[in-house]
Structure 1
Amino acid sequence: MADILDGKALAQTLQTDLAQQIAKIKAAGGRSPGLAVLMVGDNPASAAYVRNKERACEKLGMVSLGKHFPANTTQAELSQVIDELNHDDRVDGILVQLPLPDHLDSVALLNQIHPDKDADGLHPMNLGRLVRGEVGLQSCTPAGVMKLLEEYHIDPRGKHAVVIGRSILVGKPLGLMLLAQDATVTMAHSRTPDLPAVARSADILVAAVGRPNLITADMVKPGAVVIDVGINRITDDGGGRLVGDVDFASVKDVASWITPVPGGVGPMTVTMLMANTVWSYLRRVAG
């Protein structure tokens, strides 16, 4: 049976370290790092994510400078707010909570965030730095995955990593991060011929598609490391529960390591957002 990659426990450890770092900054007369999360509309899932981020800020001693907007907020109004935050010295990280209502151009808004305040690591300049192997803010979920592998001494070097899912949020940046650690990376997706065979070739298999229980035991090489990035809410027996893209019940008997859902990659995403904000603060304020 697979060992568990416990993202919840690692996130707690990292957040404790961040809280101590922030306490030292404040004790030395510095200000608290500030994070501004912008949310538009009343999407229940987005609201829950934003609450988690705001609670994490409070827990760590950071300042939450988030703003919630009605669903009919215009592109120009949001653009003006981002410009103000870019010039606000209290703000070290800015994040636009996705998805946005259909009438808004999310790409244009994300590109307007100053690269050095881009807490989610999605600005083209930060993605370019990732491609070039340069220092910069990195996308939170992929960075959390890499932290998990590091914590459990799983070295990607020389391994075949298969990433299923090619989004700009997870799949593409994670592929680059694994490549930087000397893995041989295959990017797979819904149009990949014979996806089960490609998945079975992986030493490290990452599922980041958003389809419940897509990865079954017959798609996993015995002894592979399985990272489940998916978070899907399904309803059965009159109630709802969260499941990943991996059929955990069957795959855990084949893999050597596996992330649970919930409690795997999810807690790491929020923690890396906090870490990015603190890193940005230190770069901007402490030099």
Structure 2
Amino acid sequence: MRKSPRRAPRSWRRCEGRCWRCSREEGEGECEGEGEGWPSPPRRPAGSSSAGQEEEKSPVVAAAMAVGPLGERSPSKGRGEEPGQAARPSDEATVISGTKLAHQVLKEVHRDVESWTSAGNQRPHLTVVLVGDNPASHIYVRNKIKAAAAVGISSEIILRPKDISQEELLDMTVKLNRDSRVSGLLVQLPLPGHIDERAVCNAIAPEKDVDGFHIMNIGRLCLDQPSIVPATAAAVWEIIKRTGIQTFGKNVLVAGRSKNVGMPIAMLLHSDGEHERPGGDATVTITHRYTPKEQLKIHTQLADIVIVAAGIPKLITADMVKEGAAVIDVGINHIHDPLTGKTKLVGDVDFEEVKKKAAFITPVPGGVGPMTVAMLLKNTLLVTKKLIY
């Protein structure tokens, strides 16, 4: 019989300001339990560090990722300093820098890659197949290759014309599956309309599927088993954990039901924190394009965490979010800026208005995007070490 209430995983449970091993109040001293009871150390004042010096940054990783502040908090805020605490009235949300968090992940991956190769193992190698001339896809792939080089992962891009047949693309995928030099393989989406994306994703060997889109990886994710998690979903989950946002027993709204983004995010957040692949133990509601706007508003106003991956600019407005909510914007939309006459990148959230009401919010750009690249490279190392298959 399970104990009630259950303990959430140590990696993210904060236990309302007390050490969950010895019940000391935060700041009272070291944990007296079996080990460290604090999932993360108390936040230091801005500009300070443990030894009076800034943490040494890897120049290699810094070359791939510009580093910004993790939480850009207004000095006038009255909200508690510890992430995950109940929000008190304040002017604006803490803006979570995905760039900063991605730097942390990339630094960890770089360290692990060097440790792996110094032990005499083959260097991880990522192969990216890019079909057609979609400008956005070319930018995304360049970012992945640049970040891979920065963490010591070798990589290559295989370009194919947009009129390539599905049969040719599938044949190439099978050959790359058999290539022992290739650790991780992905085919950049979207693909031209005449190609079945699901067929291509399932043609990639599950043990090389760094995108996590193969039916076996999606199935294992749904069964709470260890799997290669789709990079965007993994990025959202990692942002939540590293920021200290509590999910245990919370209400979560996921706007978007795609099998590569929305559904995996919901699976990670609602599943059991005591399973083999721990989840968030949240109560999750999924909405989609056929959810009436008035119903969407009801669900978002109840949500402690709102995650938006719908591809609709300003889908979530300030009146739809309750005070103190955490808002994670996964949307990527290119819109015309009337002030500059140029195209600009925005998410699905009315950022300037919602940040006046939320406790935490991710920006676009600079939020989930950089973390997605970082988690893709973490997946590449995972498949190289064969830790799942």
The residue number in structure 2 matching 1:12 is 103
Relative to its length, the structure with more helix (as a share) is 1
**TM-score, scaled to structure 2:** 0.72
Q: How many angstroms does 1:63 deviate by? A: 1.2
* Structure-2 separation of matches of 1:76 and 1:149: 40
Q: How many angstroms does 1:104 deviate by? A: 1.0
Q: Which has the higher contact order (CA 8 A, sep 6+)?
A: 1
The residue number in structure 2 matching 1:236 is 337
Pick one of 164, 167, 187 that aligns with 2:286: 187
Q: Give yes or no for contact 1:213–1:246 (8 Å, CA) kept in 2.
A: yes
**TM-score, scaled to structure 1:** 0.97
Q: How many angstroms does 1:65 deviate by? A: 2.8
Q: Which runs of 5+ in 2 are unaligned?
A: 1-91, 272-279
The residue number in structure 1 matching 2:171 is 80
- CA-to-aligned-CA distance 1:77-112 (integer Å, 9 cap, x gap): 111111111111121211111111111111111111
Pick one of 45, 48, 72 that aligns with 2:139: 48
Pick one of 150, 160, 165 that aligns with 1:69: 160
More deviation, 84-93/215-224: 84-93
Structure 1 letter corresponding to 2:353: S
The residue number in structure 1 matching 2:112 is 21
The residue number in structure 2 matching 1:250 is 353
* Structure-2 separation of matches of 1:284 and 1:264: 28
* Structure-2 separation of matches of 1:284 and 1:190: 37
* Structure-1 separation of matches of 2:217 and 2:268: 13
* Structure-2 separation of matches of 1:189 and 1:200: 16
Structure 2 letter corresponding to 1:24: S
CA RMSD for the aligned pairs? 1.3
Q: How many angstroms does 1:138 deviate by? A: 0.4
Q: Give yes or no for contact 1:65–1:91 (8 Å, CA) kept in 2.
A: no
Pick one of 280, 292, 303 that aligns with 1:202: 303
Structure 2 letter corresponding to 1:173: P
* Structure-2 separation of matches of 1:236 and 1:14: 33
Structure 2 letter corresponding to 1:178: L
The sequence identity of aligned pairs, in percent, is 47
Q: How many angstroms does 1:143 deviate by? A: 0.5
Q: How many angstroms does 1:260 deviate by? A: 0.6
Q: How many angstroms does 1:284 deviate by? A: 6.5
* Structure-2 separation of matches of 1:127 and 1:222: 34
The residue number in structure 2 matching 1:134 is 225
Pick one of 348, 359, 362 that aligns with 1:259: 362
Q: How many angstroms does 1:155 deviate by? A: 1.9
Structure 2 letter corresponding to 1:259: T
Matched residue count? 286
Q: How many angstroms does 1:157 deviate by? A: 0.8
Computing the radius of gyration from Cα coordinates, the structure with the larger value is 2
